[in-house]
Amino acid sequence: MFNQKLQKLGTEHSAIRELFEYGLARKKEIGEENVFDFSLGNPNVPAPACVTEELLRLIGEMPPEKLHAYSSAVGLKEVRAAIAQYIQSSFGVPMSEDLIFMTCGASASLVSVLSALLLPEEEVIVPAPYFPEYALFIEQAGGKMVPVPTDEKFHLDLHAIERAITERTKAILINSPNNPTGAVYTKGELEGLAALLERVNTTRKEPIFLLSDEPYRELCYGEKPTFPMVVYPHTVVLYSFSKVISLPGERIGYVAVSPACYHAQELFFAVRGAARYHGYVCAPTLFQRVVADCQGVTSDLEVYRRNRDLLYGALSDMGYSCTVPEGAFFLFVKALEPDAKAFCARAKKHELLLVPSDSFGTKGYVRISYCVKGETVERSLPAFRALFEEYNG
Ligand code: PLP
């Protein structure tokens, strides 16, 4: 007998992974170029040159026993110092390396921070639609996820957030640029959220924490997003290099606790403890060293911009209803029938692999992950047209 809950979780897979696996099998059957796989956020743009250069330099210059050695549990001191320096110079926040914890990507950051923060039954407000794994990560930490719908453009609805706050609210977890909608929260919006939290905090013993999950931070088509520590002190940033420099398989990211955060040092110790508890100590050392020198760099954002413009323009012209993504590499499109799963099943017949919005906590939409080759987008357009005509012909 095994843990039944976990066995079920492992048996089910996520809806996205299932579709991705289907896509792999289907490509073998009918040829890669004939399947339009928009399922996974697996960047198709190569990592920037600094990654390869730094890898080659490290392999050439460092003795292997040093290169591949354990780092301290929190990560290499010089790497954490480089990240603190980057945050300080880019965003003007006096960041300390002692409040940076290197992790195996945003997932490990989320699990560690949520486990560190949450007491049983405490609530985490999550604007919906949201990254599906949030539900699991909050549940495993013993907390309760409270989804709050965003507005019609998928931006924060501050009134709805205020209504959702209770005395059990421990944190609000935001993700901008957003997966699955591509929304990027404005400075004004974050200031509004900060003002709301500050106002509520005056009635509480402990503040509400702002958790900012930022694996798409630099993938923005317009203005750079505001760094949330600038507007609100009780902030924890969860960063990942998976998307921005196309390193999802290398599992590297970090947690940064704002020095101005309530009991920052104790919280940081709890994050360290949580990571230890979950076996997440010592993020890959080779890639700790690599990312230290590649901060603020992105993979070729123009590829994503071209895909975005082509897809958004063509789908809007065809008659689909979608909001233009301001960042990340996802287009969130209204399904052509109320049941997004049924719509995706019909899309699949046209070899279009789209993710229904149900697992993102919203009904009636699909997510198109356009971190694919430009020609895949171009070749997929007749299939999108045929699908539209099937409903409107
Ligand atoms: N958070 C969001 C919003 C994501 O989209 C993802 C991955 O798709 C993650 C976290 C997990 O990222 P990582 O690969 O760094 O664990």
DSSP string, 23-80: HHHHHHHH-GGG-EE-------SPPPHHHHHHHHHHHHHS-HHHHTS---TT--HHHH
Closest atom of ligand 1 to CA, residue 107: 16
Q: Choose one of 111, 131, 252 to mutate for the ligand 1 pocket test, by most ligand atoms within 8 angstroms of C-beta.
A: 131
pLDDT tens digits, one per residue of 59-95: 999 999 999 999 999 999 999 999 999 999 999 999 9
What is the mean pLDDT for each group of 10 consecutive residues in the chain (393 residues)?
90 80 92 92 92 96 94 96 97 96 96 98 98 96 98 97 98 98 97 98 97 96 94 98 96 97 98 95 95 92 96 98 96 97 96 95 97 95 97 86
Task: Find out whether the beta carbon of 353 lies less than 6 Å from any atom of ligand 1.
Answer: no
* Domains along the sequence of the chain with CATH: 4-48+299-392 (3.90.1150.10), 50-292 (3.40.640.10)
Q: What confidence score (pLDDT) does residue 223 get?
A: 85
Q: pTM for the complete prediction?
A: 0.96
Q: What confidence score (pLDDT) does residue 41 get?
A: 86
Q: What confidence score (pLDDT) does residue 244 get?
A: 95
Task: Find out whether the beta carbon of 107 lies less than 6 Å from any atom of ligand 1.
Answer: yes
Q: What confidence score (pLDDT) does residue 364 get?
A: 97
Task: Find out whether the beta carbon of 215 lies less than 6 Å from any atom of ligand 1.
Answer: yes
243: its two tokens: 């998307």
Task: Find out whether the beta carbon of 175 lies less than 6 Å from any atom of ligand 1.
Answer: yes
Task: Find out whether the beta carbon of 228 lies less than 6 Å from any atom of ligand 1.
Answer: no
In the reported structure, the alpha carbon of residue 216 is separated from the centroid of ligand 1 by a whole-number distance in angstroms of 9
pLDDT tens digits, one per residue of 274-333: 999 999 889 999 999 999 989 989 999 999 999 999 999 999 999 999 999 999 999 999
